[in-house]
Homo-oligomer: A and B are copies of this chain.
Amino acid sequence: MPTVYDVTAWSVPRNPSATPYNDIGLIINSIIADVKSQQTSQSSKPGAVIYIPPGDYSLKTRVNVDVSFLTIRGSGHGFTSSSIRYNAGNTSSWHEIYPGGSRVRVENTDGNAEAFRVYRTGDPRLSSVVFQNFCLDGVSFGSNENSYVNGKTGIRFDSANDACRIEGMGMVYLERGLVVKDTDALSVSGNFLAECGSCIELTGSGQASKVTDNLIGAGYVGFSIFAEGHMGLLVSANNVFPWGKSSVHFKNCTRSSITSNRFHAFYPGMVNFEGNRYRRFAESARCSAPGLNPSTVYTVASSDRDARKQKIFGSGTRCVLGLTVSRVPAGHCRTFRQDKTRGGAPSCYSLGPLLLPPESVSITLDI
């Protein structure tokens, strides 16, 4: 039973003209169909690995992943900045002008937004679906290459899932990079997700997942890291570039950690806690809102005086430890509330809205 597939060596039955170069979606769907036809025993469905060698592939048909234990793997996230390229003027003398590696151009002609959809009904949840080390490139944002809008999504997990992994991937110039619904024990590690409208969106609910050791930077319209309804999410050791309207946005998350990251943002509201839950905390973060000028062209809608009133930390936030926020004037921290516990030593703080004037200075919230 073959379990190692190479997209460049596969022929789609009854469709001899299909190649990975003109539609890698057709190829991978055909391989998945083969896996399913080979693995029919309920007690032995080990899945497979589908390899995408370095190359330039077009995806016109959405891939539907509906088997557990499937690894789709390339040899190179192939990131290069399309933003720099599209804003560089004449690039005729450039060595190359597009991302590379195992590069899948997201060019759906099937009416779907996603390059990959992971979805299955019935039990159990899909487990251990893995995307590794290839590039999903949205290619262009159309007439305005700085719009971060093209309706394209890289990978969408659309039904409950467990123990899945996104590792070493590159995503660029997609309106939405990775969208994962109702996930348990997800690992998003070692990726390069940048110049996407939004990079990582964990929607619905989730638990015991981690977003670690990534390089991430959304466009100015979206989220670098968004999580909704998560319990026990760990966001650690990421380097989050500016442009995103926030670095991390938690909505109704509980008992989650943001720690040991480096955040850099052009706008206020770098770390947002939305909703009424408590026991969230951000810790050991390095937040810089350094007053570097965001582009005067591509500002967020609310980047005027009102935007400065956005919260860095929402109400109801507790237990913010060892957090450093740069360029916030001490006087603007007056909304801090200290809940001294008995005995003097242990203490807990809540943070209210902070105001971020452009000339604010570094402070340390040593709570």
Q: How many copies does the complex hold?
A: 3
Contact at A347–B366, with CB atoms within 8 Å?
Answer: yes
Interface string of A72-106 (1 = CB under 8 A from B): 01011111110011001001011111111111000
A232 part of interface (Cβ distance < 8 Å): yes
A318 part of interface (Cβ distance < 8 Å): yes
Interface size of A in residues (CB-CB distance below 8 Å): 117
A205 part of interface (Cβ distance < 8 Å): no
Contact at A128–B78, with CB atoms within 8 Å?
Answer: yes
* Chain B neighbourhood of A283, CB < 8 A: 260, 284, 286, 322, 324
Contact at A80–B68, with CB atoms within 8 Å?
Answer: yes
Contact at B97–A42, with CB atoms within 8 Å?
Answer: yes
**A100-B45, A239-B209, A264-B232 as given contacts; A345 in contact with B349, CB under 8 Å:** yes
Question: Could you tell me the distance in whole angstroms from the C-beta of A349 to the nearest C-beta in chain B?
Answer: 7
Contact at B237–A212, with CB atoms within 8 Å?
Answer: yes
A residues 181-201 with Cβ under 8 Å of B? Answer: 185, 187, 189-190, 192, 194
A123 part of interface (Cβ distance < 8 Å): yes
Contact at B257–A259, with CB atoms within 8 Å?
Answer: no
- Which residue of the partner chain, among B236, B333, B344, contacts A343 with CB atoms under 8 Å? B333
Q: Which 6 A/B pairs are nearest by Cβ-Cβ distance? A: A69-B100, A330-B341, A80-B127, A257-B286, A3-B54, A49-B75
